[in-house]
Amino acid sequence: MRQLQDLGHTVIFLIGDFTTLIGDPSGRNSTRPPLTREQIEVNAQTYYKQASMVLDPSKTEIRYNSEWGDTLGSRGMIELAAKYTVARMMERNDFHDRFKSGTPISVHEFLYPLMQGYDSVALKSDLELGGTDQKFNLLVGRHLQAEYGQEPQCILTMPLLEGLDGIEKMSKSKNNYIGISEDANTMFAKVLSISDVLMWRWYTLLSFKSEADIAALKAEVAAGRNPKDAKVALAKEITARFHSYAAAEAAEQDFMNRSKGGVPDEIDEVSLPLGDSGAPVGIGALLKMAGLAASSSEGNRLIDGGGVRIDSGVVSDKGLKLGAGTYVVQVGKRKFAKVTLA
């Protein structure tokens, strides 16, 4: 969408606050539970904030499909439903597969592609973008535009982006995502965590490098260059896009420090009280109070796994107690805190 803006087009960033009440059945093998109005409003605010990080505000219209969905009314919904057949609706893969397997399909699910298609009518859209999983819905938009006497829109579909696991599409609900509003260090580290195979898929879908440059880089790796070099370059490119080049450089240095067992330049500082009469604090309780473990028992499990360090030294004694002083505590590769006991 931003690239289209750079070419001179105006983009309508549509938030489906009405269609979300129905629940998108795309790619589902069961009925998707609809969201509440309160959940939708919270999500809409998040979408707007994130869109503003990418799109040019001067060439962006933010619209909500409740503008026409709420006013369509029962009569309008019946008239809309009359413009599409059940046979055509059942050509959709997920509906067809669910019907064939005897999996229930609720009648309201048929309304989703109709209402998404009606968005194109209401906006008089000439081009609609969506993932490949949205192809059916986008084509319904073309059909409905013709039914309403409009020139059918063109559609542009994009491959779905696999998440950090390299299997499922990137999704917050699957916890395999990178949020564009996450801090630079987290963003950089998450890109570094993907597999070497997935890295090339991400280069194709996410990098602004030309296909020729990507092919040349891939050939260098095949010839013996460390694939981590290519992954670091991708992590820096993505991090710089949503933060800055300086932030990407700092994130790389932070990651190197963590990988070498070093301490990042900036870590949380926590002040904790000693026990009664100045008694030392057990390591499990300290990890919990410092927010480095969800509970003392989890802290003990982390110690058993060798994942806890104090002042760069591995903690192996779950019975360790710490007296007054300041300690740099590390859990895993990414969690640090400077803890002062007094």
pLDDT of residue 32: 57
270-293 residue pLDDT tens: 899 888 888 888 899 999 999 998
Higher-pLDDT residue of 257 and 243 is 243
Q: Across the chain, where does the E strand assignment appear?
A: 11-15, 60-64, 127-131, 154-158, 268-272, 281-282, 308-310, 313-314, 321-322, 325-331, 335-341
Query: How does residue 327 score in pLDDT terms, banded at 50, 70 and 90?
Result: confident
The percentage of the chain sitting over the pLDDT mark of 90, rounded to a whole number, equals 50
The pTM score is 0.68
Higher-pLDDT residue of 17 and 12 is 12
Q: How many other CB atoms are found less than 10 A from the CB of residue 327?
A: 16
Query: How does residue 21 score in pLDDT terms, banded at 50, 70 and 90?
Result: confident
Which domains, from first to last, does the chain contain?
A: 2-158 (3.40.50.620), 184-259 (no CATH), 268-341 (3.10.290.10)
- The alpha-carbon radius of gyration of the chain (Å, integer) is 26
pLDDT of residue 265: 67
pLDDT of residue 260: 61
Higher-pLDDT residue of 243 and 28 is 243
pLDDT of residue 106: 87
Q: Which residues contact 216 (CB under 8 A, 6 or more apart)?
A: none
20: left (phi over 0), alpha (psi -120 to 50) or beta: alpha
CA separation for the pair 190, 187 (Å, rounded)? 5
Q: What is the DSSP string of 85-145?
A: -HHHHTTSHHHHHHHHHT----GGGGHHHHHHHHHHHHHT-SEEEEEGGGHHHHHHHHHHH
Least confident of 238-247, 305-314, 332-341: 305-314
pLDDT of residue 33: 66
Higher-pLDDT residue of 105 and 152 is 152
146-196 residue pLDDT tens: 999 999 999 999 999 999 989 899 988 888 999 999 999 999 989 988 899
pLDDT of residue 223: 92
Q: Tell me what the mean pLDDT of segment 58-82 comes to.
A: 93
Using DSSP's 3-state secondary structure scheme, residue 291 falls into coil
CB–CB of 96/28 below 8 Å?
Answer: no
Query: How does residue 256 score in pLDDT terms, banded at 50, 70 and 90?
Result: confident
The percentage of the chain sitting over the pLDDT mark of 70, rounded to a whole number, equals 94
List Cα–Cα distances, 325 to 237, 262, 281, 288, 341, in angstroms: 41, 20, 11, 18, 5
The alpha carbon of residue 180 and the mean position of all alpha carbons in its chain are separated, in whole angstroms, by: 7
- Please give the mean pLDDT across all residues of the chain: 88
Which DSSP helix (H) or strand (E) runs through 3? helix 2-6
